[in-house]
Structure 1
Amino acid sequence: MPLRKINYIFQEVFRSLKRNSLLNFAAAGTTAISLFVLGIGMLLMINIDQIANTVESNVEIMVYLKDDISENEAHYMEPSFNRISGVKEVVFISPDEGLELLEGWMGKGSDLGSLSEENPLPNAYKIKTGDPREVGAAAAEIERLPGVDNVRYEQGVVEKLFALTEWVRIIGLIVIVLLAVSAIFLIATTTRLTFYARRKEINIMKYVGATDWFVRWPFLLEGVILGFVGALLATGVLYLSYGTLTMKLQQAITFLPLVTDSSDMLIIFGILLGLGVLLGAIGSSISVRKYLRV
């Protein structure tokens, strides 16, 4: 394309942005609102996934050894646990350590110090698997080992937890898809209204002999610019509001594992900016096509 035509197209784009400022503001605003809502859905999804992963990773197996197993003999059992398929971490808990943990759980007023002379707690192991879903199979194998008295991992609770986290992920994904479809529909509707108001301008250009692509390029670039501006507004507001919200939530609920990693945030913001440009280009291209048929 000759440089003269390229200059004309860019001049026309900026003239149009200035001349139709109200319509363009509405289009950019609609894009910003749609992508902001979509961004909230995406952030909610990755936080739900992080919380679910954290909860699942804390699932552990408590193995209590028989009373006649000495502490020395208990240490010799560790390789047997490590050889079990799926086992990632094996931690020995002596009776004294078990009593300290029990005192920590029950609080200072529990008065368990009197048990230190004749500690009734057995030697025990805390075991974690690489994949939390392998807990059941690992526990069943551990239970068959000689010297093991009792194995606990709250099977019913663990199974319900996995089912719940799976459903939460599925529902979150469905919400993201619905928000994306809603955003596309809203942006497309606003774009159609914008081009309907400018249909005479398009028709005049066609009547004086302009080619389809010569007419289309200014509108396409305009759509890209408006989409980018809308996405930029959405990511800016999302960044400020999410940062404030996570700070307050973590102050109120210190153990809540929210996503605060800047790399995760940059990926989401990059996706939103890309979507803004893409939706702006697609919306403009589809909408202008209707008015090119004169």
Structure 2
Amino acid sequence: MKLRTVGYYFRETFRSVRHHSWMTVAAIITVAISLFILGIFSLAVVNANQVATGLVSELEIAAFLRVDTPPEVVAQVGDAIRRVPGVQEAILVPKEEGLQQLAAQFGEQHDLLQALGGVNPLPDYYRVKAVAPDRVESIARSIERINYVESVNYGRDVVGRLLEVAAWVQWLGMAAVVMLAVAAVALVANTIRLAVMTRAREIAIMKYVGATNWFIRWPFFLQGLFLGLVGAGVAVVCLYWGYNWVIARMQLALPFLPLVTGQEIVLQLVGLLVLLGMVVGSLGSLISVRRFLQV
């Protein structure tokens, strides 16, 4: 491609941008808003997964042994639990410690063991952590089959609901991303279509004298690319400052939530938003120009 031709493409691109300045500004703002909301949804999905995973990871499986389990067997049961695939750790809680924890709930003024007739009815149990939240249920089923394990408790309903919420947030976020991307493509296409319509006669003459479709298409393609890049840049700046501002205040108000912090997560979105802005802009330009070239 000759340097003179490239210069022509860029001159025509910026001439069209200046000539339709209000539509250009409207398209940039719409692309920026669409990509900004897209970024918000993406960050919301990441944080929802982080919170759900953090809450689920705090859940432990309680494997209660039979009351008549011999002391020498208790350690063997622990070894069997640790051999279950997906188990991160298994900590023994002796019945004496369990009684102390129960007594602490009633208060120091109660002699719980005396009230129970001097007999500790509580069993030994193991506190088991899984390597991943989605392994909890399968681990619990495996532990239930180990000899001398009386029962297993791991908050099945809580685990299921948290994982279900995380999945729904992902799907809703993806749907919102698709709809916003389509809206941005449509607006860029309309903006460039207006530029094409004002040059319809010129395009027809260029085709009549032998100009190729791509020679005509390139200025509009670059215009769409320009709109997408500028819109993405505005969205990235707003998202970067806005997210850090919101997270700083949420950490003060809700310090117990395991939110995704730091600049890394936003910087990871920069490349995605810029790429998406370029795709949105170029796709919108190609859609708008195609009909006018079919003459």
TM-score tier (shorter): 0.7 to 0.9
Distance 2:266 2:145 in 1: 47
Aligned twin of 2:8: 8
Change (3 A) 1:246 1:125: same
Distance 2:176 2:101 in 1: 42
Quote the offset at 1:70 in angstroms: 6.9
1:174 aligns with 2:136: no
Aligned amino acid, residue 193 of structure 1: L
Aligned twin of 1:65: 65
1:71–1:94: 8 Å Cα contact kept in structure 2? no
Aligned amino acid, residue 93 of structure 2: I
Higher mean alpha-carbon deviation, 207-216 vs 35-44, is at 207-216
1:227–1:278: 8 Å Cα contact kept in structure 2? yes
Identity of aligned residues (%): 41
Aligned amino acid, residue 266 of structure 2: M
2:77–2:147: 8 Å Cα contact kept in structure 1? no
**Deviation readout 1:42-83 (Å, 9 max, x if unpaired):** 222222222232233333211223445576753343211112
Distance 1:193 1:103 in 2: 78
> Where in structure 2 are the equivalents of 1:1-294 lying within 5 Å?
1-69=1-69, 74-95=74-95, 98=98, 110-111=107-108, 120=120, 121-200=122-201, 202-203=203-204, 205-206=206-207, 210-293=211-294
2:90–2:129: 8 Å Cα contact kept in structure 1? yes
**Deviation readout 1:247-275 (Å, 9 max, x if unpaired):** 22222111222222544322322111001
1:27–1:191: 8 Å Cα contact kept in structure 2? no
> Which structure 1 residue ranges, 5 or more long, are not aligned?
none
Quote the offset at 1:237 in angstroms: 0.9
Change (3 A) 1:101 1:279: farther
Aligned amino acid, residue 42 of structure 2: M
Aligned amino acid, residue 108 of structure 2: D
Higher mean alpha-carbon deviation, 277-286 vs 146-155, is at 146-155
Aligned amino acid, residue 90 of structure 2: V
2:93–2:125: 8 Å Cα contact kept in structure 1? yes
1:143–1:150: 8 Å Cα contact kept in structure 2? yes
Change (3 A) 1:115 1:17: same
RMSD between superposed Cα atoms in Å: 3.3
Distance 2:192 2:96 in 1: 71
Change (3 A) 1:174 1:214: closer
Change (3 A) 1:221 1:183: closer
Quote the offset at 1:240 in angstroms: 1.4
Distance 1:269 1:102 in 2: 52
Aligned amino acid, residue 225 of structure 1: F
2:20–2:195: 8 Å Cα contact kept in structure 1? no
Aligned length: 291
Distance 2:119 2:23 in 1: 78
Aligned amino acid, residue 230 of structure 2: V
2:244–2:263: 8 Å Cα contact kept in structure 1? no
Aligned amino acid, residue 129 of structure 2: K
Quote the offset at 1:3 in angstroms: 1.9
Distance 1:56 1:130 in 2: 11
Distance 1:139 1:265 in 2: 37
Quote the offset at 1:19 in angstroms: 3.7
Change (3 A) 1:188 1:61: same
Higher mean alpha-carbon deviation, 138-147 vs 240-249, is at 138-147
Quote the offset at 1:197 in angstroms: 4.2
Distance 2:170 2:119 in 1: 45
Distance 1:217 1:185 in 2: 19
2:257 aligns to what SS in structure 1?
coil
1:77 aligns to what SS in structure 2?
helix
2:9 aligns to what SS in structure 1?
helix
Aligned amino acid, residue 143 of structure 1: E
